[in-house]
Every structure is written in C-alpha cells, then in structure tokens.
Amino acid sequence: MLSGAELNEIEKELRAYSDRKMGCIGALKIVQRHRGWITDEALRDLAGYLEMTPDELDSVATFYPLVFRRQVGRHVILVCDSVSCYNVGYEELLWHLMKRLAIGLGQTTADGRFTLLPAACLGVCESAPAIMIDADVHGGLEPPEKVDQILNSYE
C-alpha cells in the first residue's frame, strides 16, 4: 500500500500533467525515495493508482536506469564510464572502487552500504573523472585514492 506521504507527493507531481499516466516516472521516483527501490508490490500498487497495468508501468520502470527494480544499498555510487572520464583515468578509478568496496559493477556491499553502478556521462567533464553518490557529484578523482575520504562521509 502506498503511504499517505507518498500519495501526497504523487498528487502534487501529477498536477503538471493532464493525464495521470504521464506522471508515472516522477511517481516511481517518489516511491523510490521513500523505499530505496521499487518492489513488485510497490509497482502493482502504483500502477493501480495511476490507472495503468503493472506491465505497462514496468515497461517504463525498466527503461530508465535511475529507477531501481532491484534492491540497492543505502547509497548508490554512479561511476561515469563515458569518454571524457575514460580519457583521464576512469579505469583506474573503477578498479580502485571495486577493490576498496570488494564488489563489482551492479553489486552491493555485504553491509548494504553501497551499490556500484555504471553511468553515462554525468555532465561534469571539466572535472573528470567523476562519480555521483546519491545526489552529490564528486569530480577530479585523479589519483583514485582521492575517493577514499569521500566514501567515509556516507554511512
């Protein structure tokens, strides 16, 4: 069941659109903000609320990489693997992150703290190589050890 707080936010989001369905991406993100990810149950509940079938909503949910249909850690690290970062040390940065967190791309640390995901260009190429943790961008990570202190500030 969707919570009262979720429903309030979703209703506000839907005001920008003339059809409930059109607000589905924003609504998915609202539910995800409250629960961390979109479970099958949440998907069914939300689909009903938006007058969509669950499959219809899932076809949208699975298209967009920032909608998580699997459980993620408390913090999601997006590692930019596009060309500007590649040219200035992306590979070293990714190796360092994988070693340090002891996980590969698409995986979550055993303590549920971090999930590591690949990401398309984050649009901060002037400070490549860059990553994003939750809503925060961290750039200029050359040498890659610079990321260690940053990770410490996310519990």
144 binds another protein (CB under 8 A): no
126 binds another protein (CB under 8 A): yes
Binding mask 25-64 for another protein (x = CB under 8 A): xx-xx-----------------------------xx--xx
19 binds another protein (CB under 8 A): yes
User: Residue 79 in contact with residue 64, Cβ under 8 Å?
Assistant: no
Strand order in the sheet with 114-119: 114-119, 75-80, 131-133, 136-138
- Phi-psi group of 25: left, alpha or beta (phi > 0 → left; psi -120 to 50 → alpha; rest → beta): alpha
105 binds another protein (CB under 8 A): no
Rg (CA), the chain: 17
94 binds another protein (CB under 8 A): no
Beta-bridge partners for 24 = none
Quote the DSSP letter at residue 108: B
Residues 102, 107, 124: CA angle, nearest 5 degrees: 90
123 binds another protein (CB under 8 A): yes
Q: Kindly tell me which residue out of 4, 18, 55, 152 binds another protein, with binding defined by CB under 8 A.
A: 18
- Stretch of residues binding another protein (CB under 8 A), selected from 37-45, 78-86, 101-109, 147-155: 78-86
Name the residues that contact another protein, by CB under 8 A: 16-19, 21-26, 28-29, 59-60, 63-67, 78, 81-84, 86-88, 90, 118-128, 132, 135, 137
